[in-house]
A and B are shown apart, each in its own frame.
Chain A
Amino acid sequence: MSAQPKDVARRAVLAGALATGAAAALTGASTARATTPSGDAPRGFHGVHQAGVLTPKRRVAAFVSFDVTAGDRAGLTDLFGTLTDRVRALTTGGVPEPLGISAPPADSGVLGPVPPGGLLTALVAVGASLFDERFGLAARRPVRLSTMPAFPDDDLDPSVCHGDLLLQLEADDTDVIASALRDIARHTRGAMQVRWRVDGFASPPRPVGTPRNLMGFRDGTANPDTGDTRLMDQLLWVDAGQGEPAWATNGSYLAVRLIRMLVEFWDRVGITEQERMFGRRKDSGAPLDGQAETDTPDFGADPTGDVIPMDSHIRLANPRTAQTAAQRLLRRGFNYDRGTDANGNLDMGLVFCAFQQDLERQFAAVQRRLAGEPLVDYIRPFGGGYFFVLPGVRDANDRYARDLLA
């Protein structure tokens, strides 16, 4: 056990020096609303906003980043038309079109002869690279969309970063994701290719309250209330008057971060130290100065961090001041668990997803404040990207990116 003193020493140094390192907002702070997987009746496909932002998380998800291989603007327009048709059909369900003897079957049959509607929630977003010279869209780029930078202590693997287009698929059962992705890939093979993919799952409440991440802590306790339309307009949705191109109205910005948790190392850390890193109790999720998960921490009453350390995650992520209120974002992440590494350690962690109106004002500002927090020793952000969530497909005659490509 000679490694133990060394680990402890390294932790102490980092905890004391708030200079290096980076972390994602694994747990935030603000008002409370638990995001519970499933349960609610699924929203239909059509809407002003896309589903998959305010809708409750479903049990399983796939994040699939694509590069567009279509050669020109017409090919890109075809691609968004096909994507619209397929996602509409897949979310609506119904009998796959019979093709007689003219072709192989139109559908894989994985969901039976008549796939039910409402099983799938899909969201389409685009990356900054879509607005390069290939399709003549440079002048229409959402003004706050950039390529995700490497934050201090990120360890980004380019093969799992960025992409022209991101598909977020959610369902309550894995076969729904598998068949949807298969269908979409089949219809778009020539026009886009998978760049990277990661699958996630939403844990059920254990035993109640906000679901836990794989560090064992409740994650999402302090999310803004998705039922508060005015708040969502302030924090999430792009609207006229924000300097964005007109086509982008009712879109949103999405930061995806693939964050490995070094769970073996984490499991060798004492409970008090774990809780002081987060600023919350592990069992109840209560802030260290409170009793219940939903209690609001009172940082003002603890100005020197005697109860909730100054460098704890919830204190840095959301100081709960008037100045930082506009930095709040909607976290909608999924846990991931995907095998082992060459050392025999488990590769598991979080597909961190945050929706917001302004990546710089919200995600990046929080991220910079978290740099060097003690938690960085136990996590390793290795992939992801910045994306712009397209406005919703309003009706049967609308399609994704219609106004962008008009």
Chain B
Amino acid sequence: MERVRGTTALAAAAAVALTGAAVWQLSGGAGAAPGAGGTSQQQADGYPGLPHTSVQASPGGCGTGWSSTRAATGLQVFDVANSGIAPADVQLIEPASGAVLGEVEGLAPNRSRPLLVRLAAGSYAFRCLQQDVDAATGPTVKVTGSGSGSGSGSGSGQGTPAVVPVTQQDLIPVALAYQHWVAGQLPGLVADVDALHSAVASGDLAGAKQRWLTAHLAYERLGAAYGAFGDVDDEINGPRSHDTGFHGVEYGLWHQGSTTGLEPVAAKLLTDVKGLAAGWPKVQLDPAVLGVRAHEIVENAVEFELSGRTDYGSDSNLATVGANLDGTTEVLTLLRPLLTSRVPMPQIDAAMAAARAQLAADGNTPLGSLTQPQREKLNAVFGDLVEQLAPIAAVLEVRRTQ
């Protein structure tokens, strides 16, 4: 099972990129002028009570409206208005490192949106990325003052975390390496499914059950590749069906207690994974989805495996979760060079290790046989893990910088 959240969002963004300028010119832009006073509802939604600074964003006037004389530390709002003729991404950056503290993405011409940020003392600038135009960086503004002001949840002197954005170019080598890793796994998967098919065809129930587990785990280990597998993934491993794919074979083996009638299902499964392996060299994995995958594999494990929803008799959910952790580990290993400076990797590694340890402690116990304390501990460890992994998708979102 998989989700293609990342690719969908990117496809939509790409569509805006292609047509945005033309559409805005045809429609004459939006009604309200930037900086004009809004309704009371708009004001209530726009952080009343915080310092506001109006800033212009256009290739020729990026950051206009903010200067050192008006700069202050603390929690504040920049009302960023796009005075250009095309949609733009606007970032508040540290010019020395290029790290981003906040952004407004896809800001339409003649529109203003608030950018909320907590500034510590330092040097900052706005970067305006209008479509089809080179990036423009506004004047560097030096902010002085003590600490970062008061407010909930802030460490003393800490501003909003600044993160160096990741570009498509950064992710391409990772995607290629990942594709290579998958290519290395696929022959084993085909062999495992072939063995499963043979056992089913020869009526060897015990052997078929054992080979089903091996083959299914081999598939589950590929986690991050699901997006690239497309619709065939649903045929192979769809959770809602018990007459096709892995779960069709599982249902038959464990519920009817014989291999009778399962040969065609196993044969179709073999055909599908062979097709997958044969087609893999032609697949172009979207580099942008890797960050999303790093947390979605475990999200899916929580939703579909730890809930028991995908169990069709084999009681192997925990083993499947272990295979999903293998897939996540592979993605994290390949992404690690990009992640170490952007997210707290020691915390993430600790959460991964805790998840491994909990699975080892629970063995391959059927979910339904876990005691309440065991179940709570399992839910706690995986609940914590998905929280720790979530920032990876945020920092690895592909952003323009030039």
Query: Measuring CB to CB, which residues of chain A are less than 8 angstroms from any residue of chain B?
Result: 67, 69, 85, 89, 92, 94-104, 106, 112-114, 159, 186, 189-193, 195
A contacts with B: majority SS: loop
Q: Which residues of A contact B354 (CB under 8 A)?
A: 190
Nearest chain A CB to B44 CB, angstrom units: 8
Contact A99 B387 (CB under 8 A): no
Q: Which of B116, B377, B394 contacts A102 (CB 8 A)?
A: B394
Where chain B touches its partner, the secondary structure class is mixed
Cβ of B165 within 8 Å of any chain A Cβ, yes or no, is yes
Q: Is the CB of A94 within 8 A of B394?
A: no
B:363-402 near A, CB below 8 Å: 372-373, 376-377, 379-381, 383-384, 387, 390-391, 393-395, 397, 399
Residues of chain A contacted by B48 (CB below 8 angstroms) = 114
Q: Determine whether the beta carbon of A189 is less than 8 Å from that of B47.
A: no
Chain A residues contacting B376 (CB-CB under 8 Å) are 67, 69, 193, 195
| Contact of A186 with B387 at beta-carbon distance under 8 Å, contacts A67-B373, A97-B118, A99-B160 already known | yes
Question: Does B101 reach chain A (CB closer than 8 Å)?
Answer: yes
A82 smallest CB distance to B (angstroms): 11
Cβ contact within 8 Å between B152 and A92? yes
What are 5 A-to-B residue pairs whose CB atoms are below 8 Å?
Answer: A100-B101, A100-B102, A102-B160, A159-B372, A195-B376
On whether the beta carbons of B394 and A69 are closer than 8 Å, the reply is no
- In chain B, positions 1-59 with a C-beta closer than 8 Å to chain A are 45-50
A196 vs chain B, min Cβ distance (A) = 11
**Identity of the chain A residue whose Cβ is nearest the Cβ of B384 in the assembled complex:** A190
The answer to whether B391 and A103 touch across the interface, beta carbons within 8 angstroms, is: yes
Nearest-Cβ distance from residue A281 to partner chain B, whole angstroms: 45
How many A-B contacts if CB must be within 8 Å? Answer: 102
- Chain B residue numbers with a CB within 8 Å of A69 are 376-377, 380-381
Given contacts A95-B116, A95-B151, A97-B152, contact A102 B161 (CB under 8 A): yes
- Shortest Cβ distance from residue A402 to the other chain B in the assembled complex, whole angstroms: 20
Q: Which residues of A contact B390 (CB under 8 A)?
A: 103-104
Give the complex CA separation of A92 and B153 in angstroms.
12
Task: Determine whether B86 belongs to the interface, using a CB cutoff of 8 Å to chain A.
Answer: no
Cross-chain contact B394 with A191 (CB below 8 angstroms) = no
Query: Which residues in A have their C-beta under 8 angstroms from that of B49?
Result: 114
Bound: A98/B47 CA distance, A: 12
Given A69-B380, A189-B387: A98 and B160 interface contact (C-beta under 8 Å): yes
- With A94-B152, A95-B152, A189-B387 given, is the CB distance from A101 to B45 under 8 Å? no
CB distance from A386 to the nearest CB of B (A): 19
User: Which residues from B are CB-within-8-Å of A190?
Assistant: 351, 354, 380-381, 383-384, 387
User: Is the beta-carbon distance between A89 and B102 smaller than 8 angstroms?
Assistant: no
A89-B152, A101-B397, A193-B376 are known; give 5 further A-B pairs, CB within 8 A: A103-B161, A113-B45, A113-B47, A114-B47, A193-B380
Distance (Å) between the CB of A383 and the closest chain B CB?
15
B103 in the interface (beta carbon within 8 A): yes
Q: Quick one: given A94-B151, A189-B380, A190-B384, are A102 and B102 in contact (CB under 8 Å)?
A: no
